[in-house]
Structure 1
Amino acid sequence: MPSGARPVLLAVLVLLACTGCGLFSEGTVISSAPMTEEEGQPAVQSSPTPTATFAGAPLPDDAIVIGALMATTGFLADYDEPALVAAQNRIDALNEAGGLLGRPVVLRHFDSHTEMSSMHRGAEQLLLDGVDLVLMTCDAVFAQPALNALESSGTLVISPCGTDDIWISGELGERVFSLGTPVSTEAEILVSLVAERGLTDATVIIDQTSTEAVAVCEAFEQGFAGRISGLYRYQPTDPGLLEPILSGLAGSSTEAIVFCGTRLVAPEILAPIRGAGIVQPIFASSTMDGDHWLGHVPGVGDFTMLSYASVYTDSPDPSPEVRQLLADYFAVTGHRARDGRAVTGHDAVEAYVRAVERAGTTDPAVVAVQMERFDAEDLVAGPVTFGSRVHAAIGRPMRVITIQDPYARFERIVGP
């Protein structure tokens, strides 16, 4: 992944003191650094009159404290911020209903600014705040310094959107979970989508700016029973890599293109492919979910991608719970979620709430055991099963989104 984040602002955090106004509501502590948005997304404003406070601001004596070590600036904000908004919305609803175990729930947010150096310090600050749960950034590499700092404390950690298979086994910590769909599951679903179309020859194209995208395509390559007639890797810093892709596709008899990449880089690859008259169906992982990139790829044609939820207003998700969650997201931010990953933030908090209620305590060891007992637990993004050696949502169904120029549309829900 490329980097490029704003300097870390550790001296002052901002307590937004008006419930329901701005991006975050009462009880949230968030860095004052401005948010970054993808092209085509309107800027999201925080409270117009935030009240500045130092890290470690006083909390209610009986509060359950959820810390969030997630990025709202830098490239990881594209993944972390939507989940963080949905998590806050679930916490707000929880407090309106009386809290958890009769106690108020407060969110402490430390913006990592997508800087590795911030992660360890952020974890230490959250520990000083006495957090009961830490919501962790989606990226396992960036999470590692924080997980190292948290390990000896026994803190419960949930990544709303961690997708690397390393989240599955508990290798990152015996009390570390993820509500993201692992790349191995996404790859398995992509294999099934290509196979059910009767396509037995595929060309794989990897945008190397995303470690998640790279992992999905590498897993696809291993799981595909047909022939991989071409494998190409692309870096936007080396546009000379495009010509071999175009000439290779033009000279092959491949039946399908499997593309693993980011919405930012994809037009550099996909627009020339379609412009060259290469019309084979394209299959993509959830890293391509969203529609604001479509205008940069004229004639995108036969295109299928995976998603956690359909965010498209003219093709709404079939789940009433998803639709309500997305409506709440819009009410808070003023724009629709850029992709379906926002639902994982809600599910991360919801999973914690259910485990705490069953445990009757916030003791992280007891709550972790309750999470490991989840068996097809019906959350908004779909049923989740955990176990002593399964700490991520393997096997969870996903949405299939297809492109009908110039719109993205929900097609169906499919499992691996």
Structure 2
Amino acid sequence: MTFGALALMSLVALTGCGLFSQGTVISPAPVTEEGQPLADTSPAPVATPDGVPLADDAIVIGALMATAGFLATYDEPALVAARNRIDAVNEAGGLLGRPVVLRHVDSYTELSAMKGGAEQLLLDGVDVVLMTCDAAYAAPALEVLAGSGALVISPCGTDDAWAIGALGERVFSMGTPVSTEAALVASLVADRGFTTAAVVVDQTSTEAVAVCDAFIPAFEQAGGRAFGPYRYQPTDPGLLDPILAGLINRGPEAIVFCGTRLVAPEVLGPIRAAGISRPMFANSTMDGDFWLGRVPGLGDFTMLSYASIYSDTPDPNPAVQPILDDYRAVTGHVARDGRVVTGADAVEAYVRAVERAGTVEPGAVAAELARFDGEELAAGPVTFATGNRAAVGRPMRVITVVEPYARFERIVGP
């Protein structure tokens, strides 16, 4: 095993996020209220069929992302948006006057598929790889790609490992790092004048767990006092009683919930039913309004988002709505949350870097990406010029619930 592989695996283990961390519960596949798996109505992005020749001058964008398994919740919407942006580039004449082709290898959220998938994309001669959102799942593929000098862009990687460049100098992410989201949630709580907050964590989401773990020191550094974290997972409903007891006994001014929209009703419903009406705050893993009806009396609830998907309070960035419209036209349904825009942003960032470099050579394109300084994209300005490789410090949307609807309120920065 190379030094790079050892360093990468060690880093993922130390971050406490992803498959290789101990005590982490991986998200289950979404299910209906009856316990049946949710049918996936999004068409899989079109890949170039095996054996079909490409144009000699084609620019090939590879994608190693999941359309099945728990990662599909994050990967597939971004992948559809990326495909839509590629179509728009081709309709406008291509990139550097050349056609752009998407070559998708589906990981199906199978760790065993990542190494072989990366090797296949290299054999296909891809010019850039769009990578799955989870750093732990990406690790085997990144090791393969690092040896080739490939350029990698994750539309939605949020682990801080993406941000600090630990995954490679040519590895970028359009996701907001968990440390940034934690700082933003802490500022939302503090800006309301609250000095105490109870932290409730749904352990089925590694990203949500990481946000709450980072929220506690961020809030305390701002002068607040955090209680908990109180941890919950669906396989142990008995954990709900100590959560309720802790909230009642401590009497915090606010509640910070880090979790998934699937599990949230199991936790938030009983909290509200117990008469605990304190304002709640959440990171972007809770973005969306389709789950609101499952928590009667949700009340004061504020969450973060990459973009407003709410038609009555549209996003202030005019670049967002066309992405949402294209997504609906292709899939037949509205986007479930604002994270979908990161797929379009990943392709747009690549297009701009290629145009400035005048070539698709990975080193030259990576150098142009590394010069991004407040580059305006749909989700907001992205800066890599400080040495970061993810959108550290990018503002996010604040979404508030006015039952039974969620509404865009404002944009906030850390």
Residue aligning to 1:343: 341
TM-score by length of 2: 0.89
Aligned residues: 383
CA shift for structure 1 position 234: 1.0
Contact 1:263 1:288 (C-alpha < 8 Å) held by counterparts: yes
Residue aligning to 2:171: 176
1:341 aligns to what SS in structure 2?
A: helix
1:219 aligns to what SS in structure 2?
A: helix
2:148 aligns to what SS in structure 1?
A: coil
2:360 aligns to what SS in structure 1?
A: coil
Contact 1:138 1:160 (C-alpha < 8 Å) held by counterparts: yes
Higher helix fraction (1 or 2): 2
Per-residue CA shift, 1:145-173, capped at 9, x if unaligned?
11011111000000000001000121101
TM-score by length of 1: 0.89
Residue aligning to 1:112: 107
For residue 180 of structure 1, what is the amino acid of its counterpart? Answer: G
Aligned alpha-carbon RMSD (Å):
1.9
2:338 aligns to what SS in structure 1?
A: coil
Residue aligning to 2:356: 358
Per-residue CA shift, 1:67-95, capped at 9, x if unaligned?
00000111100000110011011100000
1:58 aligns to what SS in structure 2?
A: coil
Residue aligning to 1:328: 326
Question: Are residues 1:163 and 2:161 paired?
Answer: no
In structure 2, how many angstroms separate the alpha carbons of the residues matched to 1:37 and 1:232?
24
Residue aligning to 1:300: 298
In structure 1, how many angstroms separate the alpha carbons of the residues matched to 2:111 and 2:363?
28
Question: Are residues 1:154 and 2:149 paired?
Answer: yes
Residue aligning to 2:116: 121
Change (3 A) 1:78 1:162: same
Q: 2:235 aligns with which of 237, 241, 250?
A: 237
Change (3 A) 1:45 1:139: closer
Question: Are residues 1:101 and 2:125 paired?
Answer: no
Change (3 A) 1:168 1:315: same
In structure 2, how many angstroms separate the alpha carbons of the residues matched to 1:38 and 1:81?
19
Contact 1:37 1:78 (C-alpha < 8 Å) held by counterparts: no
Residue aligning to 1:412: 410
2:183 aligns to what SS in structure 1?
A: helix
Residue aligning to 2:41: 44
Contact 2:400 2:409 (C-alpha < 8 Å) held by counterparts: yes
In structure 2, how many angstroms separate the alpha carbons of the residues matched to 1:114 and 1:131?
21
Long gaps (5+) in structure 1? 6-35
1:373 aligns to what SS in structure 2?
A: coil
In structure 2, how many angstroms separate the alpha carbons of the residues matched to 1:98 and 1:73?
33
Residue aligning to 1:17: none
CA shift for structure 1 position 41: 7.9
Give runs of aligned pairs for residues 46-125 of structure 1, distance below 5 A. 46=43, 53-54=49-50, 57-125=52-120
CA shift for structure 1 position 230: 3.0
In structure 2, how many angstroms separate the alpha carbons of the residues matched to 1:332 and 1:374?
31
In structure 2, how many angstroms separate the alpha carbons of the residues matched to 1:91 and 1:203?
44
Contact 1:42 1:335 (C-alpha < 8 Å) held by counterparts: no
2:322 aligns to what SS in structure 1?
A: helix
Change (3 A) 1:264 1:45: closer
CA shift for structure 1 position 313: 2.1
Change (3 A) 1:402 1:3: closer
Residue aligning to 2:244: 246
Give runs of aligned pairs for residues 19-30 of structure 1, distance below 5 A. none
CA shift for structure 1 position 282: 0.5
Contact 1:400 1:413 (C-alpha < 8 Å) held by counterparts: yes
Structure 1 stretch 315-324 or stretch 261-270: which is displaced more? 315-324
In structure 1, how many angstroms separate the alpha carbons of the residues matched to 2:110 and 2:28?
8
For residue 90 of structure 1, what is the amino acid of its counterpart? Answer: R
In structure 2, how many angstroms separate the alpha carbons of the residues matched to 1:353 and 1:2?
34
Contact 2:309 2:338 (C-alpha < 8 Å) held by counterparts: yes
In structure 1, how many angstroms separate the alpha carbons of the residues matched to 2:209 and 2:130?
25
Residue aligning to 2:8: none
In structure 1, how many angstroms separate the alpha carbons of the residues matched to 2:177 and 2:299?
28
In structure 2, how many angstroms separate the alpha carbons of the residues matched to 1:58 and 1:267?
49
1:199 aligns to what SS in structure 2?
A: coil
Per-residue CA shift, 1:18-54, capped at 9, x if unaligned?
xxxxxxxxxxxxxxxxxx887798742649xx99943
CA shift for structure 1 position 229: 2.7
1:292 aligns to what SS in structure 2?
A: coil
Question: Are residues 1:133 and 2:128 paired?
Answer: yes
Give runs of aligned pairs for residues 259-270 of structure 1, distance below 5 A. 259-270=257-268
Give runs of aligned pairs for residues 220-231 of structure 1, distance below 5 A. 220-224=215-219, 225-231=223-229
CA shift for structure 1 position 324: 1.5
Contact 1:356 1:367 (C-alpha < 8 Å) held by counterparts: yes
In structure 1, how many angstroms separate the alpha carbons of the residues matched to 2:64 and 2:48?
19
In structure 2, how many angstroms separate the alpha carbons of the residues matched to 1:113 and 1:227?
41
Change (3 A) 1:182 1:46: closer
For residue 41 of structure 2, what is the amino acid of its counterpart? Answer: V
In structure 2, how many angstroms separate the alpha carbons of the residues matched to 1:51 and 1:99?
17
1:193 aligns to what SS in structure 2?
A: helix
Residue aligning to 1:215: 210
In structure 1, how many angstroms separate the alpha carbons of the residues matched to 2:127 and 2:210?
32
In structure 2, how many angstroms separate the alpha carbons of the residues matched to 1:53 and 1:138?
24
In structure 2, how many angstroms separate the alpha carbons of the residues matched to 1:88 and 1:397?
25
